[in-house]
Structure 1
Amino acid sequence: MENGRVIDSFLQRFRPDVAIRPDQVDFQPRVVDICSDASSGRYCRNVFEKDYKATIGVDFESEQYVFFNRSFILQLWDTAGQERFKSIAAAYFKGARVIVIAVDLTDLVTLNNSSTWLQDALRDNHDNDCDIYLVGTKKDLCSQSRYERKEQAAIAVANVLGAEYWTTSSLTGENVESFFNRVAALAFEKAVLREQEAIDSRLWHC
């Protein structure tokens, strides 16, 4: 299939001690069975997607993935963390399936703000079961000893937030692709199960 990042294996967590579903090593068998069923009606276009409307003030990107020959669109809404942008950002939290909190490993103030940012996101998204990630950025700007200290602080916060922890560097590219592949894989799995539950519910009530 063209025009998509083809993922042919389950993406593993960055650290086993700070992860979403840490013991899971492969896609759930039910997901594999559903995706293998060519007669599944919701796959008539082989695409998982939600409608979106771009709005000034928030950056938006999308990336297409392919799991089990099924296309999956990961939509990324990048909202600013500053107080003055709260009213704008709140409009984009509703309906989110994943929340990624990015913190600067060179500035612990951002780490201290992470709990507030998560509360803001969940306040407007209380109906959804979101996967939560805490991502430490700018690893390339930290010495090894400094990084290890900052990482321990970030891991402690991730545990409090119930988040999976990752470290990345936009400059070197370290873990960037692996992280987004992991996010896409877990989001895809939940989307498949959510869609199947909706179909099963409609059939039950027919």
Structure 2
Amino acid sequence: MAAANRALREDRIIQHFTQSMYRERDFSGAVRNACKTGKVGEKKLKVIVVGSSSVGKTALVDRCCNRQFHSNTALTVGMDVHLERFCILGVPFTLEIWDTAGQEKHRCITASYYKNACVVVIVFDMKNANQNSWESVIGWHTEVMKHTCSCGKVHLFLVGTKKDLCTEQEIVDVNTRGIRLAEQINAEYWILSALTGEKVDDFFSRVACVAFNAAVGREVEDQEHRNPMHRERDLVDLNVDIAAERQRKCKC
């Protein structure tokens, strides 16, 4: 098993939400309020990257975490863990990105890694997309569902890599099938290039936003279940804050 990458850099502060990411209003009201009032605890959010061997999983993660691309990436044995810091709505947290082995002989080992995952990314190779590729995606989806069905809601992404190697017509053909398959497995569909870096930062920012919204939302729900009066007090406090803000803005 490869050693985990423990080096942490400065937080990636997400303040400007493009169309490809969350806009601030897309986060639930409970999540926004919890972030404003400092009621969010320290988080490590787990993202699992799966897919067949040589589809470009490691190159994709390497481009995100290390800002580099190696054409001859060694096959992953077991898994590699990369830690990336993000800051959303003023709350810093760690995204654990688990790059898993795609070889069949490691499939049973990979199964144990799904525990506590909030996002799973299924990767396929756009340049070599064929019937076997799509069947492989379905196989990985089945594997994901088998190991995450008891973990609550897991957000899925279907990601095509190596876009830079494809002609325009190949991209159209792959998208036609890929979008249909993504709808079938209830996944969000992306295509990108680890070589050029196209859409890689946008994609992982999107993943971070989805994971963050889900995790904080669950934390707020847990707090409310432990203390039934918690929600009522928050609503009262919020109304007072709104009234005070209106009074401050009044020029009468």
Fold match by TM threshold 0.5: yes
- The superposition leaves residues 24-73 of structure 1 with CA deviations (integer Å, 9 ceiling, x where unpaired) of 963222211110003x2x43xxx21269xxxx721111111001221111
Corresponding residue for 2:133? 110
User: Structure 2 CA distance, aligned partners of 1:170 and 1:25?
Assistant: 30
* 1:49 correspondence with 2:44: yes
Q: CA deviation at 1:205?
A: 9.7
Moved more, 2-11 or 192-201: 2-11
Q: Which runs of 5+ in 2 are unaligned?
A: 1-8, 47-76, 231-252
Is contact 1:10–1:26 with CA below 8 Å preserved after alignment? no
User: Structure 2 CA distance, aligned partners of 1:137 and 1:25?
Assistant: 30
Aligned partner of 1:101 among 119, 122, 135: 122
Corresponding residue for 1:156? 180
Corresponding residue for 2:19? 12
Tell me the SS of whatever aligns to 1:171: coil
User: Structure 1 CA distance, aligned partners of 2:159 and 2:18?
Assistant: 16
User: 1:50/1:177 Cα in 2 relative to 1: closer, same or farther (>3 Å)?
Assistant: closer
Aligned partner of 1:89 among 99, 110, 134: 110
Tell me the SS of whatever aligns to 1:154: helix
% of aligned pairs identical? 34
Is contact 2:159–2:190 with CA below 8 Å preserved after alignment? yes
Matched residue pairs, number?
A: 189
Q: CA deviation at 1:196?
A: 0.8
Is contact 2:122–2:157 with CA below 8 Å preserved after alignment? yes
User: 1:83/1:195 Cα in 2 relative to 1: closer, same or farther (>3 Å)?
Assistant: same
* 1:80 correspondence with 2:101: yes
User: Structure 2 CA distance, aligned partners of 1:57 and 1:116?
Assistant: 19
Q: Which has the larger radius of gyration?
A: 2
Corresponding residue for 2:83? 62
Q: Partner letter of residue 62 of structure 1?
A: L
User: Structure 2 CA distance, aligned partners of 1:156 and 1:74?
Assistant: 29
- The superposition leaves residues 118-156 of structure 1 with CA deviations (integer Å, 9 ceiling, x where unpaired) of 111221111220110000000000011111111111111
Is contact 1:134–1:164 with CA below 8 Å preserved after alignment? yes
Tell me the SS of whatever aligns to 2:27: coil
Corresponding residue for 1:124? 147
Q: CA deviation at 1:204?
A: 3.0
- The superposition leaves residues 155-177 of structure 1 with CA deviations (integer Å, 9 ceiling, x where unpaired) of 11111111000001000000000
Q: Which has the higher helix share?
A: 2
Return the TM-score normalized by structure 1.
Answer: 0.83
Return the TM-score normalized by structure 2.
Answer: 0.69
User: Structure 2 CA distance, aligned partners of 1:154 and 1:11?
Assistant: 23
